[in-house]
Amino acid sequence: MKASQFFISTLKEAPAEAELPSHKLMLRAGLIKRVASGLYTWMPMGLRVARKVEAVVREEMNRAGAVEMLMPIVQPAELWQESGRWEFYGKELLRLQDRHERDFCFAPTCEEVITDIVRSEVRSYKQLPLNFYHIQTKFRDEVRPRFGVMRAREFVMKDAYSFHSDYDSLKQTYQDMYDAYCRIFDRLGLDYRPVAADTGSIGGTGSHEFQVLADSGEDIIAYSDASDYAANVELAATLPLSGQRAAATQSLAKVATPNIKTIAALVDFLAVPITQTLKSIVVEGEAEGELVLLLLRGDHQFNDIKAEKLPGVKAPLTMAGAAAIQAAFGANGGSLGPVGFKGRVYADFATEKGADWVIGANEDDCHYTGFNFGRDAAEPTFADLRNVEAGDPSPCGSGSLKLARGIEVGHVFQLRQKYAEAMKATFLDQNGKSQIMEMGCYGIGITRIVAAAIEQNNDERGIVWTDTMAPFTVVIVPMNYRKSDTVKAAADDLYAALQALGVDVLLDDRDERAGVLLNDSELLGIPHRIVIGDRALKEGMVEYQNRRASSAENVAIDAVAAQIQ
Ligand code: ATP
Ligand code: MG
Ligand code: MG
Ligand code: MG
C-alpha cells in the first residue's frame, strides 16, 4: 500500500475525553473516530487491525471444527420472549419496532436465533454435536459506554454456539474451545490469563473468562501465588474465607439468609458512602424468590422502608441487620440485591448531591453492577473489595491469593439446557426417545481486543504492535521521495520486492517533512521501519529499526528483507 493512496490521519494530542492510553492512541493514530457515545467508525488503518484479529480468530475456530455462518443483527421479539429474555435482559437490549409495529431487538448475543435454527434442523443424535460461529456486530445499550471501543455500545464479537446429545460431548467441545482461545490469544501476543468464572444460576464449573492483564482493566481476578488457581473475583468470593472475616460473613448470612456469594457480589460496587433517599425500585419480569436490602451506613435514610411500600416489588423484601453487615465489610458500603431471585431489578437512589445511582442485577449472569451518574464519586478500587483480599489463603489450598486487574476479551460458558429447555430444542436419542440438547456458548470481543492489545503494548512514542496485529508489518520511509530520484527508485524497488514476498508493506510516499513521517510510523506502531536516505544509499545501505528497539542499525539494502522475515 502506498500512503498517498491510503488514508492516514494522525493527531498530536488526544481529545480530552479519552482517559486510557489505548483510547488516546486509537484516536491519535486515526484508527477509530467517534460518532456518538459508544459508537465508533473504524477508519481504514484501524479496520486493518480489526481484520487481522478476525483472521486469527477465524483460522483457529475453523481449526477447532467450528462452522462459520451469519445471523441477522435485528431479531424478532418472539424468539426472545420464548427464552424469557425479552423481559429479563433489561435496558441493555435495544428494542425497536418496524413499520407494522412489530417488536424487534438489536442482538446483544445470539442464543435465541441459533437455538431456533438448530431445533428446526436437527432431529437425531446422529446430527450432533454441532458448533456454529459467526463474527458480527453486536449492540448492547451499555449504561456507561467508555474507553472507546473497550466498552462500546456497538462492537464486533465472534460468538459460537455448540449443541450436544450429552454432557460429555459438551465438555469435550468446551475444552476444544478453551484450547482454541489459548492459541488465539497466544498468536495475538497478549499477556492473558484464563480464569474460572461464575456460572450464576446454571451452577457447576463450566465457565472461564480470558482476561488480558492490565491495570486499567475493569475486572478483578484472584490467583494463587503457588498454583494454577485463578478465578474472577465474583467466583473467588463464593469460596470459603478464613478467620474473622469468614465469621462476620457467616453471621451476616444468617441475618439476611442469602448465600455468601450474593453478599460478596453485592458489596462489589457500592463502596461509596450512601446518604441517599431511595426513590424507587422497579422489578422487571416475574418476581420469584427473595429480595434483600442490605445497608451498611448508619446515616442512610431508608431504614424504615418496607417491602410493601416499594412500587413494583412483588417479592418480599427483607431488611438485613446493618450491624452484621458493618462487621463483615466495614463502614463504607451498602447495596441492594435480589437473592435467589429471577428477574431484573433497578433501584434508583437520589443522593444529596443530586447524583443518581442505578443498581442493576442481571438474572443472566448473576452479576451485580452499580452505576453512578454523578460527577465525582470514586471508582471502585482494590481496597473497596471486601469479599476477597490479597493475601487471603487460596481456595485451592496452596499459597495465598493475589489480585490483578484484567480486561475480559473472551468468555466460554457451558449453558447446559437453559435455552434448549426453554425453546424446546430436542432430538431423538439412540432409543428413539426425545431428549433436550446440551449447549455451550463461546464469545470473543474482536474490537475490544484491539484496545486491550494497545493497553499492553505502548510507549511514549505510540502504539507497539506485534507482527500479527499490525496494520502493516513494514513501513518504508523514504527521505525526499519526491526530490531524490535515487531514493525514489530504491524505495519503489524495495516496496515491490517486499510485496512480492507477501509482506504487508506501507510505502510512506506522502509529501510531508521527514519528522512527520518518522513520528507517524512510531505512533502507528508499525513493527519494522526502513528509512531510505541518499547518504546511506551511496554505500548500498538503509536504516532498519524495530519498533521495540531504541536505535536504528545500518543494513545492506539487499539484506533488509531477510532481516524482517
Ligand atoms: P463485560 O463483563 O465486559 O460487560 P460481558 O461479560 O457482558 O463483558 P459477554 O457477554 O461474555 O460480555 O460477551 C463476550 C465478549 O464480548 C466479552 O468477553 C467481551 O470481550 C466482548 N464485549 C462485551 N461487551 C462489550 C462491549 N460493550 N464493548 C466491546 N466488547 C464487549
Ligand atoms: Mg456486559
Ligand atoms: Mg463479564
Ligand atoms: Mg462475559
Res 50: pLDDT = 98
Query: Which bound ligand lies closest to the C-alpha atom of 39?
Result: 1
Residue 295 contacts residue 275 (beta carbons within 8 Å): no
How far is the centre of ligand 1, averaged over its atoms, from the C-alpha of 446 (Å)?
Answer: 10
**Reduced 3-state DSSP string for 195-264:** EECCCHHHCCCCEEEEEEECCCCCEEEEEECCCCCEEEHHHHCCCCCCHHHHHHHHHHHHHHCCCHHHHH
CA 291 centroid distance within chain: 29
Q: What is the pTM of this model?
A: 0.79
Longest dimension (CA), the chain: 88
Buried b (16+ CB within 10 A) or exposed e, 52-91: bbbebbbebbeebebeeeebeeebbbebbebbbbbbbbbe
Ligand 1 and 347: CB distance under 6 A: no
448 lines ligand 1 (CB under 6 A): yes
Distance 178 CA to ligand 3 centre (A): 17
Which among 133, 157, 199, 414 is the best mutation to test ligand 1's pocket, defined by most ligand atoms within 8 Å of the CB? 157
CA of 88 to the centre of ligand 3 (A): 17
ipTM of the complex, rounded to two decimals? 0.99
Residue nearest to atom 25 of ligand 1 (CA): 151
Interval between CA 292 and ligand 4 midpoint (Å): 25
> What is the predicted pLDDT for the residue at 191?
97
pLDDT of residue 314: 37
Number of helical (H) and strand (E) elements in the chain, helices listed first: 16, 28
Closest C-alpha residue for ligand 1 atom 27: 151
Place of cell 481529545: 15
Length of the chain: 565
**What's residue 422's pLDDT?**
94
Closest residue by CA, ligand 1 atom 2: 408
3-class DSSP state of 131: strand
For residue 407, how far is its CA from the centre of ligand 1 (angstroms)? 9
Q: Is 158 in the pocket of ligand 1 (CB under 6 A)?
A: no
CA of 374 to the centre of ligand 3 (A): 23
Question: At 100, phi and psi to the nearest 5?
Answer: -95, 10
Segments of the chain with pLDDT less than 50 = 201, 203, 240-374, 376-386
* Per-residue pLDDT, 155: 98
How many Å apart are CA 57 and CA 55, to the nearest integer? Answer: 5
**Residue 408 Cβ contacting ligand 1 at under 6 Å:** yes
Q: Measuring CA to CA, which residue among 444, 505, 437 is closest to residue 475? A: 505
408: its cell numbers: 475480559
Ligand nearest to the CA of 92: 2
